[in-house]
Amino acid sequence: MEAATGEYTVFFDHDDLMVDVALEVMVRAAERTGARMLYSDEDKIDQVGYFSAPNFKPDFNHRYLLGCNYICHLTMIETRAMREIGLLRKEYDGAQDHDFVLRASELLKADEIYHVPEILYHWRLTPNSTAVRIDNKQYAVAAGIQAVKDHITRLKLKAEVSSIGNMSIYRVQWKFTRKPKVSIIIPFKDQIETTRRCVEALMEHTDYSNYEIVLVDNWSVTLEATSFTKAFSKHRNVRFVRVEEPFNYSRLNNLAVETCKSEFYMFMNNDVFVEDGNWLPALLGEALASPDIGAVGAKLLYPNDTIQHAGVVVGAAGVGAHVHRGESVTDYGYIGRTRLSHEITAVTAAAMLVRANVFQEIGGFDEKDLQVAYNDVDLCLKIRAAGYKIIFAADVVAYHHESLSRGSDQTPEQEGRFFAETQIMQDRWGEHALYVRDPAYPRFFTVDLQPFFDLIAPEKLTDHPV
């Protein structure tokens, strides 16, 4: 590194391979975008020349970088920037590249770090390499933990960092001293047993004191609802807002927000049940880690312990769809994505924490055109368009009995409304950069059917300038 004299410096292991046009592609991308650090996709090559395990990466994603060095190969950096960042440091041996990239993220702006969405690097598989098994080099795991810890300290934040499964992927648990107020907003209509379970779970399993539960009663008519309201109104941190109007999810939440004076709104469906008392502190920790984080979503499971929500891919299935849906809770997902918190384009409002000032800035939910479907995706896209980030919090887990209280959109009237709202989303966002190519989801994967992270058919692969 000290001897480098070129305008750019490329990190390359001596026994690996680059494609023959790799450097040309990287330099052209740097010239086109003005990026000062660039990274490409990669795969692995064994000793007989067989290619495997393609790693198609998201665009720059700082929260994901805390959990793993997903940038890795091929990396090219402006030599002048490299000198400002400093040399590789021997105290992080085994994770020296992760430490370097973390330090680079402190110096460079996010738009100065560019992802080239092409496989330009082949990582050599040998029996004792970390490309095969990280447990061959446990010192590298320890070094990675230290690199992430030290980076967080330099950002003047506090967190506990630990390895997941003794691998070089890391759980970051934020620590914070400020206790902002949170309004947990839960719409319901009758179906009292479900709502009661939801509220009782919150009251039993929330290790955080500065919150209120706002129950939005959408014209309940049963005696059970009257008894429920009377009983739970006695709790000091529970209150009711009654709305005698036809069901409009967006409006119900907007009306509830008008009654709140909290710093955060926690939107939650009444068929979501929490079990881990740290769920709300963990969501708040993600939100408070940076002022540019506008919303945080939880991991939601079906009752059979398969994943219902681990983030939303925008553009999928016409508008958006849940990634990793149906996978086991024990699965790691693609490159650890169900186990690692990361920035994502959208999350479901079934369990979503939003900064109050951001919600107000973007105008809340669209209660006119998106009364039932896709209002949460629209909200997230507005948050992103306003310059804020959205985080999927992988360690916050709750159970979701999806549409248990309201039912599915299956009547002719409901289907008609669903298709109309789908068209509204496509008209509104169809040409937006976030929608055309979701920055959190590689373009090489299918978006029109599940399972996700399956390779797209070559004829459907869209052109994208590197």
Are 100 and 85 within 8 A, CB to CB?
A: yes
Strands (E) across 157-301 are located at 158-163, 170-175, 182-188, 211-217, 238-242, 264-268, 272-274, 293-301
Q: Do 146 and 210 fall within a single domain?
A: no
Residue with tokens 């080099």: 137
Sign of CA dihedral 197, 203, 204, 208: positive
281-306 pLDDT, tens per residue? Answer: 999 999 999 999 999 999 999 999 99
Higher pLDDT, 163 or 131: 163
Count of structural domains, the chain = 2
Task: Classify 357 as helix, strand or coil.
Answer: helix
How large is the average pLDDT for residues 142-163? 98
Last-in-domain residue among 154, 174, 194: 174
- Considering the domain architecture, whether residues 97 and 233 belong to the same structural domain is answered as no
The answer to whether 214 and 257 are in contact (CB under 8 A) is: no
Q: How far is CA 24 from CA 9, 17, 453, in A?
A: 13, 15, 28
- At 465 the pLDDT is 61
Calculate mean pLDDT across residues 175-193: 97
Tell whether 167 and 186 lie within a shared domain: no
Question: Does 163 lie in the same domain as 15?
Answer: yes
Reported as a single tens digit per residue, the pLDDT across 311-361 is 999 986 678 889 899 999 999 999 999 999 999 999 999 999 999 999 999
Give me the long-range contacts of 157-160 (CB less than 8 A, separation at least 24). 157/289, 159/285
Is the pLDDT assigned to residue 460 strictly greater than 70? no
Q: Answer yes or no: do 76 and 34 share one domain.
A: yes
Q: How many Cα atoms occupy the beta-carbon half-sphere of 286 within 13 Å?
A: 32
Residue 403 clears pLDDT 80, i.e. is over it:
no
DSSP state of 306: B
Within-domain flag for 450? no
Picking from 95-109, 152-166, 193-207, 445-459, which range would have the lowest pLDDT averaged per residue? Answer: 445-459
The verdict on residue 256 lying in a domain is yes
Alpha carbons 371 and 364: distance in angstroms, whole number: 12
* Pair 240, 233: CB distance under 8 Å: yes
Q: What is the pLDDT of residue 444?
A: 83
Q: Are 181 and 198 in contact (CB under 8 A)?
A: no
- Kindly state the tokens that stand for 402: 């999806």
Helices (H), ranges, 86-176: 96-107, 138-154
For residue 455, name the pLDDT band (cuts at 50, 70, 90).
confident
pLDDT at 191 over 60: yes
Per the CB < 8 A criterion, the answer to whether 188 and 219 are in contact is no
> Is a pLDDT exceeding 90 seen at residue 463?
no
Residue 443 CA: distances (Å) to CA of 9, 32, 35, 60, 162: 27, 20, 20, 14, 31
- 155 with 195, same domain? no
CATH number at residue 235: 3.90.550.10
The pLDDT assigned to 249 comes to 98
DSSP one-letter string for 231-263: HHTTSTTEEEEE--SS--HHHHHHHHHTT---S
Q: Do 170 and 186 sit in the same domain of this protein?
A: no
Residue 424 reports pLDDT greater than 70: yes
* Residues 92-138 pLDDT 10s: 999 999 999 999 999 999 999 999 999 999 999 987 665 555 555 78
Average pLDDT over residues 357-376: 98
Residue 135 has φ and ψ, to the nearest 5°, of: -70, -5
Percent pLDDT > 70 in the chain is 92
What per-residue confidence (pLDDT) applies to 43? Answer: 95
Q: According to the model, what pLDDT value does residue 205 have?
A: 98
Looking at the structure, tell me whether residues 153 and 136 fall in a common domain. yes
Instruction: Give the residue from 306, 343, 342, 341 showing the smallest Cα distance to 450.
Output: 306
Residue type, 322: H
Distance, in Å, from the CA atom of 16 to the CA atom of 122, rounded to the nearest integer, reads: 6
Confidence band (pLDDT; 50, 70, 90) for 458? low
State yes or no: pLDDT of 41 exceeds 80: yes
Task: Give the whole-number percent of the chain exceeding pLDDT 90.
Answer: 82
CB atoms closer than 10 angstroms to residue 384:
23
For position 443, what pLDDT does the model report?
Answer: 82
Give the pLDDT confidence of 219-231 residue by residue, as tens digits: 999 999 999 999 9
Q: Does residue 169 sit in the same domain as residue 244?
A: no
pLDDT given for residue 229 in this prediction: 98
Say what the pLDDT of residue 299 is: 98
Distance of CA 338 to the CA centre of its chain: 9
Range of 307's domain? 182-436
Q: Which residues contact 3 (CB under 8 A, 6 or more apart)?
A: none
pLDDT recorded at residue 435: 79
Higher pLDDT: 154 or 404? It is 154
> Which of the four pLDDT bands, split at 50, 70 and 90, describes residue 451?
low
Is 51's pLDDT higher than 80?
yes
Is 148 found in the same domain as 241?
no
Query: Exposed e or buried b for every residue in 97-124, given b needs 16+ CB within 10 A?
Result: bbbbbbbbbeebeeebbbbbbbbbbbbe
Nearest to 421 by CA among 378, 359, 466, 362: 378
Within a domain: 461: no
Residues 141 and 284 placed together within one structural domain of the fold: no
* Mean pLDDT on 181-205: 98
What tens digit of pLDDT does each residue of 268-280 get? 999 999 999 999 9
d(CA 162, CA 93): 18
- Note whether residue 112 is domain-resident: yes
Does 112 lie in the same domain as 190?
no
- Is residue 64 situated within a structural domain? yes
